Structure 1
C-alpha cells in the first residue's frame, strides 16, 4: 500500500507492458504502422490504456459503445474486442486519411461488422443519434477528439449514455500543462475548464486516473 501514486519510469512501463498487455499481433502492427506513418502518432492511446478499456468494458458487460475521435482505430479495436458478438462501436471522426488505416485493420481483424464509422463533424453525428432516439442507449462513451469541443462532446455523451453508463475523457492531464498557469493555449484551457466542470458536476460520479495522458471516468447517475 502507498499513500502516493508511484512515479512511472520507462523501465516500469516496459515491465507493465510485459506483464499486463494482451495485444493481438494485428493490433500491435496497427500501433507500429501508425507510428511509422503519421506525425500525429502520439494521439494514439497507449497499450495500457487499451488494455484497461478491454478490462473495463468486459467488467461492465458493455454492448453499445460510442467513440468520439477514432484516429487510426486502435482504441476502437480494443473496445470492439471486449464486446460480445452482438456488441457494436459507433465511431466519429473527420479524417479520411487516418481512418483509412483504421478500416483496413478492422477488416483484417474481422471486426468491421462490429464497428460503424461516421465521417463527419462529431457534433453533427451526435445530434443525428439524438434525433434518431438513441438517448440512454450507450453503455460507454470515449471522448478523444478536438479539445475546444470537449465540453460539447461531454454534454452530448451525457444524453446518449444510459444511467450507470460511463464516459471516458482522454488527455485530461495534457502533458502536465493543466497546472501551468502560463499556458493559455485554447486546447489547454478547454481541457482545464472541462476538468473543473466535471469535478463539480452532480450528474456523475468521477475518477481521474494518471494513465496515458490522463483519463477521467464519469459514471452517469
Structure 2
C-alpha cells in the first residue's frame, strides 16, 4: 500500500452525494479528473478553517470540488465558478443544486482569463481560490488570484505533482514544465507563504501576505 492509498483509505471516504457526482461525470463520458476524495475533504476543511465567505473556483467540471468548497462555507458564503465548457457548467450546477448549494454558486462560462478580467473590473474580491484547470495557465491564474485576493486569502492548486512527472527530470513535456514553473514560482514568491502537500496528485496551498 502506498502513502497515498493509506491516506485515502483513512481520510477519503465519499458520501452518496459525491459518489453520484462522479457517476454523473462517467455517464456523460466527461473526463474523470475530479479531485481525489482526500483532497475534497481537505478543501472543505481549509474553507472552514480560513472562514472564507467568498470563494473562486477555476475549473468546475461536474461540480465535485464545488460541493467540497461549498460545504466549508457558512450559509452566507458565495462560490463563483469559472468553466470553459457549457456542458460541464450545466452539470456542475445541476449537481450543486442536488447537494443543496444551488443558491450559493454563480457560474461564468468561457475563457477563465476573460472572466477574471471581468471580475476585476467589477471590483470583486475573494477569500479563497481553487485552481484546477488548464495547467499551462496556472501561473497566470495565480497572478490573477493575487489581484483579486483579500488580505490573508488562500490560493490552492491541484495536480501540482502531475503524477510524479514534475520531479522526473527526464520528463520535459510542456505541461510538466509549466507545472514545474508554477511550483517554483509559489516557492520563491515573497508575496505569499506556500507549501506543497503530497495528497492526491499534489495540492499547493499559498497564503497571501
Same-fold call, TM > 0.5? yes
* Alignment partners' CA distance in 2, 1:165 and 1:9: 27
> 1:119–1:86: structure 2 CA closer, same or farther, 3 Å change rule?
same
> 1:50–1:177: structure 2 CA closer, same or farther, 3 Å change rule?
same
Aligned twin of 2:170: 182
SS at 1:164 equivalent: strand
* Alignment partners' CA distance in 2, 1:66 and 1:185: 29
* Alignment partners' CA distance in 1, 2:190 and 2:153: 15
- Which of 142, 147, 167 is matched with 2:130 structurally? 142
* Alignment partners' CA distance in 1, 2:7 and 2:50: 26
> 1:207–1:117: structure 2 CA closer, same or farther, 3 Å change rule?
same
* Alignment partners' CA distance in 1, 2:167 and 2:16: 38
Aligned twin of 1:87: 77
Q: For the Cα contact (< 8 Å) 2:81–2:105, is it kept in 1?
A: yes
- Which of 29, 42, 52 is matched with 1:38 structurally? 29
* Alignment partners' CA distance in 2, 1:9 and 1:196: 23
| Aligned 1:63-74 pairs, distance under 5 A | 63-74=53-64
- Which of 117, 122, 130 is matched with 2:107 structurally? 117
- Which of 169, 182, 201 is matched with 1:194 structurally? 182
* Alignment partners' CA distance in 2, 1:209 and 1:9: 11
Q: How many residues align?
A: 209
Structure 1 stretches lacking a partner, 5+ long: 1-5
Aligned twin of 1:3: none
TM-align CA RMSD: 1.7
- Which of 6, 9, 19 is matched with 1:15 structurally? 9
Question: CA offset at residue 36 of structure 1?
Answer: 4.5
Q: Please list every run of at least 4 consecutive aligned residues from structure 1 whose deviation after the TM superposition is greater than 4 angstroms.
A: none
Structure 2 stretches lacking a partner, 5+ long: none
Compare CA radii of gyration and give the structure with the larger one.
Answer: 1
